[in-house]
Amino acid sequence: MGATSEIKTIGKGNRLASLDFYRGLVMVLLMLDSSGLYERWVENTKEDTFFHSLAIQFTHYPWHGLHFWDLIQPAFMFIAGTAMAFSLTKQTAQGLSWNQQAIHALKRSWWLFFWGVLDYAVRGDQLSFELWDVLTQLSFTMLVAFLIFRWKTSYQLLFSVGLLVLTECLYRLIKVPGFDQPFTDQHNFGNYIDVILMNKINSGGWVAINCIPTAAHTIWGAVAGKWLVTLANRKSKISYIIIFGIAALALGYTLDLTGITPIVKRIATTSFTLVSGGYCLLALALLYFWIDVLNHKRWLLFFTIVGMNSIFIYLFFEIVVSRWLFTYISTIVNGVISPIGISETAILFISSLTIFIFEWLLCFWLYRKKIFFKV
């Protein structure tokens, strides 16, 4: 199928099955996290065992280093860029002008920002203004990726590199007393900007200006999406994405291993952005080859129906589940099952799985009713 015919096909509304699965897989993993499953897994396995080592891969690395779970937010932002490429291609095929697309992009960024701030707006019995939520970050990265989407691919990639260079300069060259240690928790430039923006520092080390380097993730997702849409040869599509992914991994790990820039997810260092972006690219290439090229599409529905309402279910488990439903369901499960004589540990895991099943059934109900929330 040629590039022109592929664009027409997308314009008719066909979806990329691998992208739907990729997004759904990420959301299912996040839903399991919201159910408390990973936390309980870590707490109920002995240290220095294989299962504990596996469990901690589903937690964020404390500072310098990388766990599997550190790749989830980059994947979330990368997938948003890839999906945007397909959406903009479809809009163009339908005759929408750049101005019309820009208005939609601005509205989308506003709503992402709004929901991201709302997610963190309540802390105990007080209101709070915080900019660390992934949706707040995504509101910036999506807008940046949109504004340069029509540029040549080489220019888009150069721009993303420029964002990484800018990040290095901000952390290394701006010396503010108390915040002049580039890669030290609570004493770096990102923490200083948070004091200015929010008059507070995140105790976990997260910073709002992560949106600058991680905009590269969304841009790279959009570039990969462009390749999937426009390149005529499927081998070329996969080859470009794989080569880009390997190059990003090699450069990122080189920066870390040589001591130039450590891999730190919490402040999205250049090496972290490159390594995590590289894994996202390789995952997309693998899934595209397995699902769309080899046509292995059985058993995907479990994941794709979650991905089709990704923003909704994210807000649902962040706001509703974490603040109310988690305790409510856990209490019910404990009250019903504990008289049977099952161990406390088993009850905790059953509670987590019950919460996850509830979230999944909600997505399934929305899918059956053809209700899809979009921004």
Three-state DSSP string of 109-176: HHHHHHHHHHHCCEECCEECCCCCCHHHHHHHHHHHHHHCCCCCHHHHHHHHHHHHHHHHHHHHHCCC
CB 218 within 8 A of CB 81: yes
Rounded mean pLDDT, 136-146: 96
Structural domain includes residue 71: yes
Choice between 6 and 43, residue whose per-residue pLDDT is larger = 43
Question: How many other CB atoms sit within 10 Å of the CB of residue 2?
Answer: 11
14-46 confidence digits (pLDDT tens): 578 999 999 999 999 999 999 999 998 998 888
Structural domain includes residue 186: yes
Q: What is the pLDDT of residue 14?
A: 55
User: Quick one: pLDDT band at residue 127, thresholds 50, 70, 90?
Assistant: confident
Q: What is the pLDDT of residue 372?
A: 86
Structural domain includes residue 274: yes
Q: What is the pLDDT of residue 4?
A: 40
CB 74 within 8 A of CB 277: yes
Q: What is the pLDDT of residue 246?
A: 98
H-helix segments, 231-343:
234-257, 270-287, 301-307, 310-315, 326-337
Structural domain includes residue 313: no
Rounded mean pLDDT, 116-143: 88
Structural domain includes residue 349: no
Quote the domain boundaries for residue 23: 3-295
Structural domain includes residue 22: yes
Domains identified in the chain, total number: 1
User: Quick one: pLDDT band at residue 243, thresholds 50, 70, 90?
Assistant: very high
Q: What is the pLDDT of residue 254?
A: 98
Rounded mean pLDDT, 229-244: 90
Rounded mean pLDDT, 323-333: 85
Q: What burial class does residue 156 get, using C-beta atoms within 10 Å of its C-beta: 0-12 exposed, 13-18 middle, 19+ buried? A: buried
Question: How many other CB atoms sit within 10 Å of the CB of residue 258?
Answer: 9
2-6, 54-58, 343-347: least confident range:
2-6
Structural domain includes residue 150: yes
Question: How many other CB atoms sit within 10 Å of the CB of residue 274?
Answer: 27
- Determine what percent of the chain is predicted with pLDDT higher than 70: 96
- Residue 162 and residue 147: Cα distance in Å, rounded? 15
Q: What is the pLDDT of residue 6?
A: 41
Q: What is the DSSP string of 69-122?
A: GGGHHHHHHHHHHHHHHHHHHHHHHTT--HHHHHHHHHHHHHHHHHHHHHHTSE
User: Quick one: pLDDT band at residue 101, thresholds 50, 70, 90?
Assistant: very high
CB 218 within 8 A of CB 138: yes
CB 130 within 8 A of CB 120: yes
Would the pLDDT of 11 be above 70?
Answer: no
* CA neighbor of 166 nearest in space, from 207, 216, 204, 224: 216
Question: What average pLDDT does the structure give for the chain?
Answer: 91
- Determine what percent of the chain is predicted with pLDDT higher than 90: 71
Would the pLDDT of 221 be above 90?
Answer: yes
Straight-line distance from the first to the last Cα atom of the chain, in angstroms, rounded to the nearest whole number: 31
264-294 confidence digits (pLDDT tens): 999 999 999 999 999 999 999 999 999 999 9
Choice between 128 and 72, residue whose per-residue pLDDT is larger = 72
Task: Give the chain's length.
Answer: 375
